[in-house]
Chain A
């Protein structure tokens, strides 16, 4: 393999600075494009990482009963049948749902917990022990909404039978799991059932914990024979679905982004084609003093590579700052939606080499491709034409 020709490299660098205005323009546009692209992928990676982290404590299997495609509450006693399946360590009947707060046109997630049951979220466990029947804990997002309506110390639920229920706000949920607990109101099971209008002997669904993870498929098969109409979701299903959802959103963004890339391709093609007379005579002189066509093509390639690679580096580094220091304020909404309650979370830093390659392949080769034909046109012009 031929080694890099450093003289040519130096010449390419000098030549880049000679065409300052055009190159600065191309450089900044390319950097910005790469910046946008990288931000989206960094957010995706962070969310996936956080989900992977959170999923560890989630229940291994969730069993729900559907009627007409909607989840309906089931008898609490069914838990005993599930617990009788060999390998199931613990079954928790969960009480959860949504409360529509119509003043702010938003929904709060109501989660009911008992003090001594195995819980999916470790942060809830800590708070659950302090819960009483007339108190609740609320997430950060909920707190902000309630403050707007002057619910500082307590909150009045409007129950489905048009009566009121008053609960004291005992405190705020820990911020570490903001992505999961931001819109949560944590109540005792008793009061949660009242708010959600669930009968006393019923629960929404069952969360199963399995000691040996390899037994999960077998246990799922057994549940299916016991309850043929039940909807069974395993932890793995959940992760795959989440991964697919984030990939889909990222992919959707990218698909739209292809249009931008194409436009950029045209701009570069156009800019590089519009050779100035200064540039022309430069190539003419080089050819007159004995440079071959290949040498000129090579130095032009160096030029394109240097420009696009530095733009790539700048874009990626800029995106890192934007995502990890400023929490990607706008792009974040692509992934988490834009409801009233927006989780304020610090995205964890994830280094994923694959993403860097992905962004590289979508920027640098495209730029270089756009320069191939215009460069070749100039390089193969005859000397007399160039110097004229």
Chain B
């Protein structure tokens, strides 16, 4: 038995099939709308397209509404699977058990950013009686369908090639500084103290650009912040969560032993940076933009406070730095 006939995996794949079916319908509709939409026309085709745009929007909203809880469920399942894979101790082992895992996870997160961006664009579009962005948003979905399709294909590939009898690496090997993975090479070339400095500097810079109302700068800094905060989380903050200088793993703190804190951290980071990017990319009204700014800052601050809390607590309790 190479693949695993596991109920959770079957559930995920079943929903993938549903997504594929509806996603394809939405894709066809989007393509038609993107090509032929003309809000001034009074032709029969335009009337049909208006009707179909509702269906397209409903389907995309349906997929998004499920994708968000499903990605948490997905990570949770990877964690669970680590108990039956030899050598794996957390999701990192399962992800690296097949060549597809890393790409799948990155693609999933990337897709959530894009789907949510679509939803925000849709909201702005609906709020305006002229619906100026209808064509753009459906054109966007026609493109977005392909990474979405790739995600589903990768998910099938991942679960069908998962072999319970092979030995996989645990996160200790994958994220160790001694190993030759590209990640660790990058990490060694920067010192962790520089990166941590950069992390806090970026956070301050983001606040500054809010004060100065530089929306493009704000979004750009948020983009850099995603990378830097993930790097520092693995290199520096993670070790304080585990209270162990050698444990660099972005997955273990999703487990019960660390009170599932990872789910909160990643949610904060996602919501913060997403709204940060939305400030520049969503053509919203001033009022909505204000709320994006505020949401972004709120969640980024929550993220920074939470990771800082672990460091401060460790230093206060033990009196030394790791």
Contacts and interface: CB of A to CB of B under 8 A. Distances in A.
Contacts of B18: 365-366, 369
A368 interface: yes
Nearest to B18: A369
A262 B225 CA distance: 44
B76 interface: yes
Contacts of A358: 7-8, 11
A365 B10 CA distance: 15
Contact of A247 (B6, B11, B126): B6
A366 B58 CA distance: 15
A368 B62 contact: yes
B15 A251 contact: no
Interface in B45-70: 51, 54-55, 58-59, 62, 66, 69-70
Nearest to B1: A248
B7 A254 contact: yes
Interface stretch (A135-143, A175-183, A220-228, A372-380): A372-380
B131 interface: no
Interface in A342-388: 354, 357-358, 361-362, 365-366, 368-369, 372-373, 376, 379-380
Interface of B: 1, 4-11, 14-15, 18, 22, 51, 54-55, 58-59, 62, 66, 69-70, 73, 76, 80, 83-84, 126, 164
B5 A354 contact: no
Interface residues of A, number: 31
B73 A240 contact: no
Contact of A372 (B7, B15, B58, B69): B58
A379 B5 contact: no
Nearest to A2: B123
A362 B84 contact: no
A354 B76 contact: yes
A32 to B, nearest CB: 19
Given A261-B14, A294-B126, A362-B11, A252 B73 contact: no
Nearest to B59: A372
A81 B164 CA distance: 33
B24 to A, nearest CB: 13
A250 interface: yes
Contacts of B80: 354
Contacts, number: 77
A53 B320 CA distance: 40
A357 to B, nearest CB: 6
B19 to A, nearest CB: 9
A44 B8 CA distance: 13
A247 B5 contact: yes
B83 A354 contact: no
B7 A251 contact: yes
A247 B58 contact: no
B83 A243 contact: yes
23 contacts: A44-B7, A240-B83, A243-B83, A244-B84, A247-B5, A247-B6, A251-B9, A254-B10, A255-B10, A258-B10, A294-B126, A354-B80, A357-B73, A358-B7, A358-B8, A361-B69, A361-B70, A361-B73, A365-B62, A368-B62, A373-B55, A376-B54, A380-B51
The 7 closest A-B pairs by CB, nearest first: A251-B5, A380-B51, A250-B7, A376-B55, A247-B6, A254-B7, A254-B10
By secondary structure, the A interface counts as helix
A297 interface: yes
A250 B9 CA distance: 11
Given A250-B7, A251-B10, A372-B55, 6 more contacts: A243-B84, A244-B164, A248-B6, A251-B7, A366-B18, A379-B54
Given A252-B5, A261-B14, A380 B66 contact: no
Interface string A233-275: 0000000100110011011101100100100000000000000
A211 B149 CA distance: 52
Contacts of B58: 297, 372, 376
A294 B69 CA distance: 24
B6 A251 contact: yes
Of B14, B70, B84, B164, most buried by chain A (CB within 10 Å of CB) is B14
A247 B4 contact: yes
Contacts of B62: 365, 368-369, 372
Nearest to B5: A251
A41 B9 CA distance: 14
A109 interface: no
Given A354-B80, A361-B70, A372-B62, A247 B55 contact: no
A358 to B, nearest CB: 5
B54 A297 contact: yes
A243 B7 CA distance: 12
A254 B54 contact: no
A70 B73 CA distance: 42
Contacts of B54: 293-294, 297, 376, 379-380
A41 B7 contact: yes
A369 B281 CA distance: 31
Nearest to B13: A258
A337 B200 CA distance: 60
Nearest to B48: A380
B13 to A, nearest CB: 9
A153 to B, nearest CB: 47
Contacts of A366: 18
Contacts of A373: 55
Interface in A321-359: 354, 357-358
A369 B11 contact: no
A241 to B, nearest CB: 9
Of A251, A366, A379, most buried by chain B (CB within 10 Å of CB) is A251
A256 B51 CA distance: 37
A227 B80 CA distance: 34
Of A248, A255, A376, most buried by chain B (CB within 10 Å of CB) is A376
B272 to A, nearest CB: 16
A369 B11 CA distance: 15
A266 to B, nearest CB: 13
Of B10, B51, B164, most buried by chain A (CB within 10 Å of CB) is B10
